Structures are given as structure tokens and as C-alpha cells.
A and B are shown apart, each in its own frame.
Chain A
């Protein structure tokens, strides 16, 4: 027999034993993805973290997870690569169903870089992802207009005639941003002149915007950031999609996409775009068209083959565009170009690509991918009697191998790339031809402490036939201080070869002469470093997040395009310092269900040393660039997204413009005034289609005299490059989207 004490002990042990399941209860759930079309898929490998017990696990292949939880209530936080993190308040043992949406404007959030072969690789950069939902907020029309609700990127016209646009990120122009489509080089070389207009908005599924340097795997050209777009895939669920668009300024568009699945492995997609500016518009009555007339045809056909061992994607595209602008009475065929100012441009481009990936089913961490692309680009332009002809043929290849050391906490990538780029350009009576051959090698090591810390060290060496051997080191680090506080830092180098004419085409729209000064070095090279801090929290029980980042770019070599002296554009290699400092703070908050509020402030300090006419250097802030910018976006949707409302207010602070009248080197600074732009849009969803109505530049703000000397375009004072604000006024647009699933 047991004595009472023993009895008590046994009783206690029994209680302890049996009550254990009571203390540690099961918390089960399932994590799935949810896209704009309502499609869902299980997310394997998502990280699940339970705050009250500081417990974590990962979801299985079916997206399911199981946790043994001791304390209630607590936050259940779910993170998955490529998705916005989500959290839910759990009060009792239950089955939790979580739906993650693709990473939406989650600055600095870890995101899938679809490396060839679909092997997703964690990147640790400061990133923003613009999903279809975000892109639909600015319904018009192509990549150049996709950043209206984005605080980091601004888009400006390069001049008041050609309609060419240039983005700027961290205070530097788009040529320093590596722009790729599905990791294939896209907007570079001669395409950079009008390239932003050549990617139709409806083709884009998402835009991945990375600040600071990108991975060495993608090349050496990213200096301030990288943009990678994902387009419509052949295996999407939408069988057919049609979009039509028209606006009050006389522009219309038709976009179509059709996909077909031949069997489980093979599928194809056909994407078409046609757009036209039909009417001549002269709101400011300066005798010049505010917007160029154009028509653009853009067609792309792509294929995908996927099996257990191989994933192959290939395709090709063609685009043709014609632009005519200049004086209202200019006719391309009949006008005398010595008396009536006209601008014309004809572009045609062939592109093709192939991405081949070898998959290893039993070793998902291993991958071998090859990216190949080729392009042929032709442009013929004239600015009055000044003729430009440009031809470019390029071939690019990138071979990437990826594997691990012992376990997936130590992964590495290595590979080799090759670029062949042949240019032939003619401007006035000069011919410029060059052939670039750039073989290169790269390696990257990624060290991960799950949910805590990630470090990426990358190096690449490229051998440029004109610029010599170039070494590019890059380091990225990410630290999860707590699940709601994240810190990131990066430092690295980037370089590129300048295309003086194609990148500055808009600067030909004036009577200035081009002067090349001193020994010119076509190399541009910069170090970029920065950090970001993001914090997620609850405000009145609703989700909020705050992101701060700071980036600095220091050029060691730069090609300066100097407009500081009237009547000339001087180009020279950077004689002194050139830098860009950029800080941004962004606050996102959802005060009510389906109501989202975003407010951001950006500060930029960008300056270079310019050669003064009397010799010596003069440090000036970069012209046409505003130091301060504020963006506020308010988005509301009714239940089931039947009605969607969107309102954006952008305020751009004053900016310096080159003093075009005074020749003296110590002339006082001239500043353009600050201005506001307001965008609004309403979308109504029906069962199979959607209709939207919107307005751009609601308060009809325009720059008073975008073209200097417009009265006499053949005199010395003519200059259409002094553009700092909108040229065309208020614009109302409407369109519809129709889809068959």
C-alpha cells in the first residue's frame, strides 16, 4: 500500500502527466496564397511564429502547420517569401486559416527573386513590390505611369517635345537603375530613350523595386537600384483578357492577352498592345504640341514548358512606334523642316529570350539555369534638320548554378555571363560605332540564421573590351531584431558604359550645341550604401507599418551632361565629386477594413561639381530635381471590391533649373516653384468585367513656358529641355477590362 504522501505524489504525477496536453494545446492551421483573381495555392515552407510562447515552425508541403501552444492569447505571425506577412490574434486552440497576398509595397520585405528555373532565392534587399492591385490604381497605361502611387520613384519628361520619360530613384536617373523583365535585361542601350513607354501596363503582373544594389547574379549595371518586372505567364488562369482605354487628350489603347494550354506541360501566351495619340493638343498656346502624336504596336508571344526535370520558357516580341511632334502646323511629309519645327522618331525592335532551368526534384536547393536573350533595335529621329540614326544588336547570356554547403543555411550561387553589344549611331555628320564584349564571372554566398539574420556576400569580375577588368563587390545584410522590427543594410559597387546620345536624346530638342570637353571616359562607376528600418505595429487595434531608409551613392566616375551654360550642352568626365543622398520615411495604415492610407516624405540631396566657364569647379545641386517630395495615397474598396476608390496627392518641392540667360559662372540660382498633382480613380467591378474612370492632374497645373523661345524655334534662344513640371493639363480617362477565366 502507498502511504498518503506517496499517494499525493502519485496523484501529482498523474495530474502533471495528464494535464500536459491541457497546458500545451494544439494550434493547427493552413497557409495559402490569395491573388487578385481569388486563386489560392498552398504555401509550403512558410514561417509560422507564435508570439506568446516564442515558438516557431514551418508549413509542410500542403501548407499545413502544427504548434504546441501553452499560453493564450497571442499573435500568430506568418511570413513567406514573396508574400506580405500576416498576423492573427489567437485566443484559443483552433484551426487557423491564413491567406497571404503577394508582397504589396512591403518596403524591405524579403521577396522571391525568380531565378531561372523557378528556384526561389531569398533576397535581403530593401524592396517594394507593386502588385496588380497597386498597378490598377493608376490605370494608364505603361511602365512610365506605374509609379504614380509610389513614393520612391518619380517620373519626369526629359523635354517638352519628344514625350520621352525618365524615372528617378534615389535622386538619380533611370539609367542608373537596372531595369529587367523577368531577369532578362530590358531597358538599356538604345531602348533607354523611350523604353518606359514600351512596356504596356496590362502586361505587367508585378514590379519588384529594389533600392540600393541588387544581387551580383543579375549583372554589374545596377548602381542605385533595380527594377524587375514579371509579365503575364502562359499558365495563368485567365484565358482571355481585353482592355480598352481612352482619355480626354486624345489617346486610346487596346490591350489583349490570350493564353492556351496544350497539355499539362506546354502552354503559350499571346500579348498585344496598340496605342495612339490622335489629336494635336496645345493647351498652353505656344504653337507646339503638348504631347507627341504617336502610334505604337507591340506584340509578344511566349511559351512555357514545365516538367519534373526541366522548366523552359522562351518567346519573342516585336514593337514598332512612330512619333511626330513639334509645331502645331508641322506635317511630317510636306513641311519644310528649316521653317517649321518638327520632331519625328521611328523605332522598331525585335526581342527574343529563352530561360532554361534544370530542376532536381529530390534536391530542391539545387538548380542550374541559363538565360539567353537577343535584341535588334533601330531608331531614326530628327529634331528639325538635325538627324539621328541609331542601331543596336545585342546578345546576352547568363548561366547560374546554385547549391548548398551542408544545409540550406549556407547556400551559394556561381556562374558566368556574356554580353555582346554592337552600336552604330550617326548624329549630324558624325558617326559613332562601337562593339562591346563583356564576359564575366560571379559568385555569391548566402548565410542564413532562420528568422534572425541573413548575410549575402557577392563578387563579380567582368572583362570589358574597352573599359578593362572591373571588380564588383556587394554585401547585403538583414537582421530580424524582433518579428516586428527589421533592419537591413547594403554596400556595393556598380558600373556601366554610357550611351551619350540615346540616354540624352531629349536634350537635342533645343538650339544648344553639343560640346565635348577634355578627355572623355565613357565609364560610370559608383559606390552605393544604405540602410532601412521597418516596424510593424498596431494602432487602435489596426495594422500599421513604418519604414525609414537612407541611401547614398558616391560616383567615382561619371559622365556629366552640363546645361549650366546657355547655348551649349557640355559633356565631360566628372572632374570632381558627384553624390546623391536620399532619405525616405513611409507610413502605411489601415484605419478601417478595406481603407488604406499611405503617407511618405522623401528628401534628396544630389550634387555634382560642374566646370565653370572660367575654369575651376562649382558644386551645384542637380538641376530639375526637387529636394522634397510628399505623397499621400488613400484607397478604399467596398466589400468584395465592387467599388474601388483611389486618391493620390503628390507635392514636389522647388527645384533648381539651369540659368539659361546669364552666362556668368557665379549667376544666382534659379528655382522652379513647388507644385501639387492630384490623381483620382473609381473602379466598378462587374461579374466578368470592370470599368474605371479617373483623372490625372486634377487641379490642372502646368508649367507656364515649357518651351523657351517657342515663338522662333530656329533662333538661338529656343530650348524645350527646361522642363520641370507637367506640360499637358488635366486629363480625364476611362477604360474597361474584360476577362474570361
Chain B
């Protein structure tokens, strides 16, 4: 039974492909920022998982599928949300739309 289930699920596992992990430093300062960034990443193709740690210099750990997205694009998504991502500066227009508590 378990074997059959495994065989059934195998194609999905293969579809997901191998994942890679990257750590990016962001300018997030509060829980809200964390929520925003993680949500925007979750809605982005190729992102498997992300976790922003506010206590560790706002570093975000992103698990992604390298066939679908690369690190530069991930940084771009974070910048478009209104936050700095390593060397990529936040998109000004998005930053201005952030609620007051999320601004530096």
C-alpha cells in the first residue's frame, strides 16, 4: 500500500525538482514586514518556503527552485515589496506605500 502511495506521489516530488536555499539580509523591522515579505514571496513562482528572522538581523531564508527563479529575482521581489535585500535597494514607490510602522 505504502509503495503504491509512494509511486503515486513520486511524480509530484520529481516535478518539484531539487531546491536550493539562500539567505538574504532585509530591512524588515517588525512582524508586519515579515508577513508582507513572506506573503509576496509565497505568491511568487518558484518559491517553496521562506522564513524571515527578525532577531537575526532580519535575515530571510528562502527555499527556491533554481529552474524557475534565481537569487537576483528573489531580491527584486523583496525590493518591490518595499524593503532592501542585501545590496538591492527597496523600490521607492513601494516603500512609500508601507504603513508607518514598517518605515525606517
Contact = CB atoms under 8 A, between A and B. Distances in A.
Contacts of A685: 43
Contacts of B101: 30, 32, 40, 42
B30 A97 contact: yes
Contact of A97 (B31, B40, B42, B99): B31
Nearest to B36: A38
A639 B30 CA distance: 19
A40 B99 contact: yes
A712 interface: no
A363 interface: no
A687 B44 contact: yes
A18 interface: no
A642 B41 CA distance: 11
A41 interface: yes
Contact of A687 (B31, B35, B40, B97): B40
Given A97-B30, A97-B31, A640-B38, A687 B43 contact: yes
Interface in B43-77: 43-44
16 contacts: A32-B99, A32-B101, A38-B39, A40-B99, A42-B100, A97-B30, A97-B31, A97-B32, A639-B42, A640-B38, A640-B42, A640-B43, A642-B42, A685-B43, A686-B43, A687-B43
Contacts of A686: 43
A391 interface: no
Contacts of B44: 687
A99 interface: yes
Interface in A10-48: 30, 32, 38-42
Interface in B81-102: 97, 99-101
B42 A40 contact: no
Interface string A438-455: 000000000000000000
A41 B39 contact: no
Contacts of B38: 640
A640 B39 contact: yes
Contacts of A639: 42
Contacts of B97: 237, 741
A97 B33 CA distance: 12
Contacts of A38: 35-36, 39
Interface in B9-30: 30
B99 A642 contact: no
Nearest to B32: A40
Contacts of B32: 32, 40, 97, 99
Contacts of A30: 101
Contacts of A237: 97
A651 B38 CA distance: 40
Contacts of B43: 640, 642, 685-687
Contact of A39 (B31, B40, B99): B99
B42 A41 contact: no
A639 to B, nearest CB: 7
Contact of B99 (A41, A640, A687, A741): A41
A396 B44 CA distance: 51
Contacts of A642: 42-43
Given A39-B99, A639-B42, A640-B43, 17 more contacts: A30-B101, A32-B99, A32-B101, A38-B35, A38-B39, A40-B101, A41-B99, A42-B100, A97-B30, A97-B31, A97-B32, A99-B32, A640-B38, A640-B42, A642-B43, A687-B43, A687-B44
A42 B100 CA distance: 9
Interface in A92-146: 97, 99
Nearest to A33: B99
A689 to B, nearest CB: 10
Contacts of A99: 32
B55 to A, nearest CB: 13
A602 to B, nearest CB: 37
Contacts of A40: 32, 99, 101
A686 B30 CA distance: 24
A42 B38 CA distance: 22
Contacts of B31: 97
A266 to B, nearest CB: 20
A167 B97 CA distance: 40
Contacts of A41: 99
Contacts of B35: 38
A741 B40 CA distance: 14
B23 to A, nearest CB: 21
B77 to A, nearest CB: 9
Contacts of B40: 687
A645 B99 CA distance: 29
A151 to B, nearest CB: 31
B44 to A, nearest CB: 7
B99 to A, nearest CB: 4
Contacts of B39: 38, 640
B70 to A, nearest CB: 18
Nearest to B100: A42
A640 B39 CA distance: 6
A163 B101 CA distance: 49
B73 to A, nearest CB: 13
A351 B99 CA distance: 36
A41 B98 CA distance: 10
Nearest to A687: B43
B83 to A, nearest CB: 14
B94 to A, nearest CB: 9
A29 B44 CA distance: 32
Interface string A625-648: 000000000000001101000000
